Each structure stands twice: as structure tokens, then as C-alpha cells.
């Protein structure tokens, strides 16, 4: 059985994600919620050792608007 996708926050909290889809290309990541209620957000990521860090998320279609942590949750 496949493992569920999880998000680990900087405070150590780990949350299982059942309705989040993501696409990764080069150093960009796109995250969207199934059903469209959470919108689509595009951000950057980097690798350091075995850790991936994502940052600078913005709303798809309104790239001037930064995505808040609550919107990503």
C-alpha cells in the first residue's frame, strides 16, 4: 500500500495530505487542492543533502500576490 503524502512544518508538526496535488519541474513546484477550493500556488525549491526546502509561493494567475502559510495549509 502506498504511503500517504505528508507535509512537515518548521515547528515539527506533520500533516497527512489526502487532496493535494503537486507538479515539480526544474526548481519550481506547483501545488493545488483537488476541488479548486484552495487555489493553485507556484513556488521555488532547493536541495541540500537529503532535504528539500520550498519557498516564495505565489498565486497562479496573480503572481504579484504572495501565498500565506494558512492558504497552503
pTM listed for this prediction: 0.57
Residue-wise pLDDT for 18-37, tens only, equals: 666 667 777 888 888 766 56
Domain boundaries, the chain: 22-65
Give the number of other Cβ atoms within 10 Å of residue 48's Cβ.
7
Question: Can you point out the beta strands (E) in the chain?
Answer: 5-8, 14-17, 20-25, 28-33, 40-48, 51-59, 62-66
- 34-50 confidence digits (pLDDT tens): 665 668 888 888 888 87
Number of other CB atoms surrounding residue 33 within 10 Å: 16
Separation between Cα atoms, residue 59 and residue 30, nearest integer Å? 10
Amino acid at each position: 500500500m502506498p504511503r500517504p503524502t505528508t507535509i512537515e512544518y518548521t515547528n515539527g508538526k506533520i500533516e497527512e495530505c489526502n487532496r493535494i496535488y503537486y507538479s515539480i519541474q526544474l526548481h519550481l513546484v506547483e501545488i493545488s487542492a483537488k476541488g479548486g477550493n484552495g487555489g493553485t500556488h507556484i513556488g521555488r525549491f532547493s536541495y541540500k543533502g537529503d532535504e528539500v526546502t520550498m519557498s516564495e509561493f505565489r498565486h497562479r494567475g496573480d503572481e504579484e500576490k504572495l501565498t500565506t502559510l494558512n492558504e497552503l495549509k
